[in-house]
Amino acid sequence: MDFWNAITLITNYILIPGLSYGCQLALGALGVTLIYTVLRFSNFAHGEFMSFGAMVSILLMWYFQSLGISVYPLPTIIIVLPISIIITISFCLLIDKFCYSFYRKNNSQSVILLIVSIGVMFFSNGLIRLIIGPDDRNINDGERFLLKAKTFKKMFELNEGLAIKMSQSLTIIITLILVTFVFWFLNKTKTGKSMRAYSDNKDLSLLSGINPEKVVLIVWIITGMLACVAGTLYGLDKSYKPFTYLNLVLPIFASAIVGGVGNPIGAIIGGFVIAFSEIIITFAYRRFLGYLIPENFLPETLMQVLSTDYKIAVSFLILVIVLIIKPTGIYKGKLI
Amino acid sequence: MFLNASKISCGYDKTKIVENCNIFLKKGQIASIVGPNGAGKSTAMKAIFGLLPLYEGNVFFNNENISKLKPQERVLKGMSFVPQTNNIFQSMTVEENLEMGGFIRKNGIKETINQVYDLFPILKDKKKQIAENLSGGQRQQLAFGRALMTKPNFLMLDEPSAGVSPIVMEDLFKKIIDISRQGVSILMVEQNAKQALKISDIGFVLNQGKNKFTDSGKNLLSNSEVRESFLGG
């Protein structure tokens, strides 16, 4: 029984939260990677695009709530996603038109575009706080749990409970659908292949008659969609606070780089690597060990490698380790 | 004349590299541009395809003045270009490379891919392989194949034998003859002047950006002055 308690504890506090956080990072990193491979710059504003998407979703959700529309037990925010995706894509395209396209046409170095993206990040952050305010908001109005810890305890007669939040299961399902779609699009459709061709060899793709403007349009459509969904799911899972998205940029970039810069599969893997490392390193193992070793051997401390305050630092740690050992990332990506 | 680049001058920025040069060929011919390093061979070729602006002169294709057209628009007219380097999509499979070559076409891509496979059987065997993993000669064949996907009637090759072994080079030249037999006119720039002139109907020897000799490939090969100065005796 103690063994199963330990397993349940790990599943409840590491496996499931790691999976859903990993999904959120993977979606973000996939967006960053697409922009990097196609437009050749690191888009630091991506976190704010996610925040923007989440904000639009919340505004629409309030509107839907005021109309009395609800999809209980699912949270209302899920049904507004298609509309907020379209609005987020329009925002991305506007930003591209007024900020990025000028530098792209001048063939600016990618570092200049990176700095432009930092400007865009601060602008979007300000805009978002101006519209919705800086407060922390809980946006989950659906059923909170798919599986309650109490029910699980009764079912298996264990001390430890396993809880699966609605937001976590939605995150995992929606990520699966979206990632499958993106990979299908990139590998099977003519437009997706032309995007890969453009990012592989721009000059040759122009010789083959691939229209660069169309490629740019498509990459923003996909990025906007990914950002909106990732941002909304992150807000749904935790809570929505504009400032947290500023911090989210760091683990997202770490994921993209750890996985292999410019490699979409790498971005997904990187997302999970970073998510699980953050959680594994900041988890307190005392209770877990308590089930497995006799009480008098149990150490006094919490058995925690780093306090949760250092969560962000963990992604940097992993980043440094990967760059030292395998500079191209886990999946062979471009050297930066 | 099928292609006639008359009195063209071009270069990079304001440095004139090619001056008052004439390059021309008839339908179905193989033409090569040869000459020492830095003679402006590749520069002239790029200007003919529109990758570099012309300072002076005009390019006529099928009796139409195409001097002002973008490279993409020239592709639609039936021209196709194989660059010297970076001439394939490295991260994509052989088949995807060919598909992308035919990007502007609406239909009939499958048949053209099969025609390319008939011409280069090795590509058919490796169609699912990532292009990065091909050997030098195979890459060059894939680059030819990609360029042929638009069904051009005029193919331009920039140093097709650069960086491949002599045996592979011979094989590539055979392929070039095969392509021309299918009714595609060919203009190429070559370092290996002797081999190129052997299969050329017309050859242009450039030196310091100017036409030095223009004659049939055979005559150039037997011209003692050309042999001594440009073909290494």
Q: How many CA atoms are closer than 13 Å to the CA of A275, on its beta-carbon side? A: 25
pLDDT of residue A21: 95
| B132 & B161 share domain | no
pLDDT of residue A147: 87
Q: Select from B83, B96, B103 the Cβ nearest to the Cβ of A209.
A: B103
| B55 & B115 share domain | no
| B59 & B18 share domain | yes
- Name the residue with tokens 């030098």: B136
pLDDT of residue A296: 81
Q: Considering its fold, how many domains does chain B have in total?
A: 2
pLDDT of residue A335: 44
> Helices A264-282 and A311-325 sit at what angle, rounded to 10 degrees?
130
Q: Which of B17-26, B101-110, B115-124, B178-187 has the lowest mean pLDDT?
A: B101-110
Is residue B84, in this structure, part of any structural domain at all? no
The 3-state DSSP class for residue B157 equals: strand
Q: How far apart are CA A87 and CA A220, in angstroms?
A: 12
* Residue B14 pLDDT level (bands cut at 50, 70, 90): confident
β-pair partners for B95: none
- Name the residue with tokens 């007024």: A98
Q: What is the mean pLDDT of residues B81-106?
A: 92
Domain holding B8, by residue range, is: 1-78+153-177+185-233
Please name the residue of chain A whose CA is at the shortest distance from the CA of residue B95. A193
| B171 & B217 share domain | yes
Q: How far apart are CA B26 and CA A163, in angstroms?
A: 78
Is residue B198, in this structure, part of any structural domain at all? yes
Please name the residue of chain A whose CA is at the shortest distance from the CA of residue B150. A208
Task: Tell me which residue of A173, A187, A177 sits closest to A264, measured CA to CA.
Answer: A187
Strand ranges, E, within B120-181: 154-158
Q: How far apart are CA B184 and CA A78, in angstroms?
A: 57
With 60 as the cut, is the pLDDT of residue B179 above it? Answer: yes
Q: What is the b/e burial string over A221-247, where b = at least 16 CB atoms within 10 angstroms of the residue's CB?
A: bbbbbbbbbbbbbbbbbbebbbebbbe
- Give the percent of chain B with pLDDT over 70: 100
Laid out side by side, the sheet with B3-12 consists of: B15-25, B3-12, B54-61, B64-65
Low-confidence residues of chain A, pLDDT below 70?
1, 333-336
Mean pLDDT of chain B: 90
Please name the residue of chain B whose CA is at the shortest distance from the CA of residue A186. B92
| B6 & B68 share domain | yes
β-pair partners for A225: none
| B101 & B200 share domain | no
| B101 & B211 share domain | no
| B59 & B162 share domain | yes
Q: Which of B100, B105, B139 to mutate to test the interface with A (most CBs of A within 10 A)?
A: B100
Question: Which residues of chain A are within 8 Å of residue B91 when distances are taken between CB atoms?
Answer: 196, 200
| B72 & B21 share domain | yes
Q: How far apart are CA A255 and CA A267, in angstroms?
A: 6
Is residue B5, in this structure, part of any structural domain at all? yes
Contact B91 A200 (CB under 8 A): yes
pLDDT of residue A168: 94
pLDDT of residue A336: 38
Q: Select from B83, B90, B104 the Cβ nearest to the Cβ of A209.
A: B104
- Contact between B223 and B215 under an 8 Å Cβ cutoff? The reply is yes
pLDDT of residue B60: 94
Domains and CATH numbers, chain A: 2-325 (1.10.3470)
pLDDT of residue A219: 96
Distance (Å) from the C-alpha of residue B87 to the closest C-alpha of chain A? 7
- Name the residue with tokens 């894939």: B142
Contact B96 A193 (CB under 8 A): yes
What are the Cα distances from residue B136, in Å, to A310, B141, B166, B172?
50, 9, 12, 11
Q: Which of B80, B89, B140 to mutate to test the interface with A (most CBs of A within 10 A)?
A: B89
Question: Which residues of chain A are within 8 Å of residue B76 when distances are taken between CB atoms?
Answer: 209
Is residue B43, in this structure, part of any structural domain at all? yes
ipTM confidence: 0.86
Classify the C-alpha dihedral B93-B95-B100-B101 as positive or negative: positive
| B218 & B201 share domain | yes
Token digits for A134? Answer: 């800086």
| B165 & B202 share domain | yes
With 80 as the cut, is the pLDDT of residue B110 above it? Answer: yes
CATH of the domain at B164: 3.40.50.300
* Residue B23 pLDDT level (bands cut at 50, 70, 90): very high
| B204 & B170 share domain | yes
